Amino acid sequence: MTVADTHRTVLAVWRTEQQRRIAILARMLRDVPLAEEMAQEALVLALESWPASGVPDNPRAWLVTAAKRRALDHLRRNQMLARKHETLARDLESEQDVMPDLDAQLDDDIGDDILRLIFTACHPLLSREARAALTLRMVGGLTTGEIARAFLTSESAIAQRIVRAKRTLSDSGLAYETPRGEELAARLSAVLEVIYLIFNEGYAATTGEDLMRPQLCDEALRLGRILAALAPREPEVHGLLGLMELHASRIPARTDDEGAPILLLDQNRAHWDRLLIRRGLAALTRAEELGGAEGFYALQAAILACHARAAAAADTDWREIAALYARLSAQTGSPVIELNRAIAVGMAEGPQAGLDILDQLTRDPALKTYHLLPSARGDLLAKLGRNDEAREEFLRAVDLATNARERAFLQKRAEALPPQ
């Protein structure tokens, strides 16, 4: 294996296991930013040593051991937490360089560890933006660029938020914990937002060669299900869970055999996961029973339920979907939601009606670099027979898109349009 191949292996293991490593170290050190620093040091060590020594049989356990040793060195240097120092020393003395048994034990409790990490990073002491950015970086493993696109802002702004959030956590000595009662309720909306954004990045990857990152979807779903058990009477928890279950039900039909995107209207609905649909509809019903029908996540789940209940694309109740988006838009003022409303209106009332809404959004600075705006305009213009304009919009979307699959798909759509 070449050095480049080994480095790719290291980074692949790191990306898929990053949140586990940080969660384990945060539990040990009771310091979230320090846990991330120790995990990063273990990554650097792997990049330096694996090309010479070879990839270990259990790379996950190797990274845990390396990170724990770095943590122990830090505790020794700073002469802090003597009892933890002794416990960690005893643990390390009994471990081998690879630790399959320890890794299996950690997996048994990893859900609670990751939730503690999210709840800690979502402390009310941090601003909403800082909470989300920090947690998406550490738990979701998203890059600053990916987070910036999720918030429609610049990478430098996100980087500054993360740095300030880490400093605040370190200086304040906040506990690594899962709060209960009123404290849990105070942090819950921020935690839900983070899980929602992690799922979205998995469902529609911002960058990379693949349209989706299924592992992020699975992780968000798992966390959502745990939260539903922790807070069974919180309607928005069930609303978010329903939203994710219904979205996830479409994953098998979203790409062809080569990984290229398939538009919603062209998907084979026989490939939609009926079990996930039933779970999603049940979660939505529970949210509504708890009085949360107008919640941010429940309204989105209700939109997805309209699609899930339609046996064929032609049976979709687009007027109901447009009405639900209108309620969401009035509630949030989000230009992205308004964009989706325009698409629904275009389906319900004709492409010109949808285009009229999109034309107003072209002046919104938040959507200046959002590739789905010209993509949606291109689709509606094509339906109106304005192929030359549609082609320009699709090509503009190509320039703005950062996911390779989306770029290729949009390029094909532009090339497939006949000249006027």
C-alpha to C-alpha distances, 12 to 47, 54, 159, nearest whole angstrom:
12, 15, 23
Q: Is 12 exposed, middle or buried (0-12, 13-18, 19+ CB in 10 A)?
A: exposed
Rounded CA gap, 329 and 344, in Å?
Answer: 13
Phi, psi (deg, nearest 5) at residue 55? -70, 125
Other Cβ atoms less than 10 A from the Cβ of 418: the count is 6
pLDDT score recorded for residue 245? 98
Quote the DSSP letter at residue 140: S
Judge whether residue 78 has pLDDT over 80: no
Distance of CA 84 to the CA centre of its chain: 34
CB distance 388 to 419 below 8 Å: yes
Q: What are 34's strand-pairing partners?
A: none
- HSE toward the beta carbon, residue 329, CA cutoff 13 A: 17
Judge whether residue 364 has pLDDT over 80: yes
Judge whether residue 354 has pLDDT over 70: yes
Q: What average pLDDT does the structure give for the chain? A: 86
Provide the angle, in degrees to the nearest 10, between the axes of the packed helices 372-383 and 404-416. 20
Q: Residue 323 has which token pair?
A: 């009405």
pLDDT score recorded for residue 171? 76
Which residues, at least 6 apart from 281, have a Cβ–Cβ distance to it below 8 Å? Answer: 242, 246, 305, 308
Which of 200, 148, 164, 162 lies closest to 340 in space, CA to CA?
200
Please state whether the predicted TM-score (pTM) of the whole model is above 0.85.
Answer: no
9-12's contacts with Cβ under 8 Å and 24+ in sequence apart are: 9/50, 9/55, 9/59, 10/43, 10/46, 10/47, 10/50, 10/55, 10/59
pLDDT score recorded for residue 246? 98
Maximum average pLDDT range among 37-51, 77-91, 334-348: 334-348
CB distance 118 to 174 below 8 Å: no
Rounded CA gap, 308 and 249, in Å?
Answer: 9
pLDDT in tens, 288-343: 999 999 999 999 999 999 999 999 999 999 999 999 999 999 999 999 999 999 99
Q: What are 208's strand-pairing partners?
A: 403
pLDDT in tens, 48-67: 888 888 889 888 888 888 88
pLDDT score recorded for residue 33? 74
pLDDT score recorded for residue 96? 43
Judge whether residue 84 has pLDDT over 70: no
SS3 403: strand
Percent of the chain with pLDDT over 90: 51
CA dihedral of residues 147, 130, 81, 95 (deg, nearest 10): -10
CB burial string 269-281: b at 16+ within 10 A, e below: beebbeebbebbb
Higher pLDDT: 191 or 140? It is 191
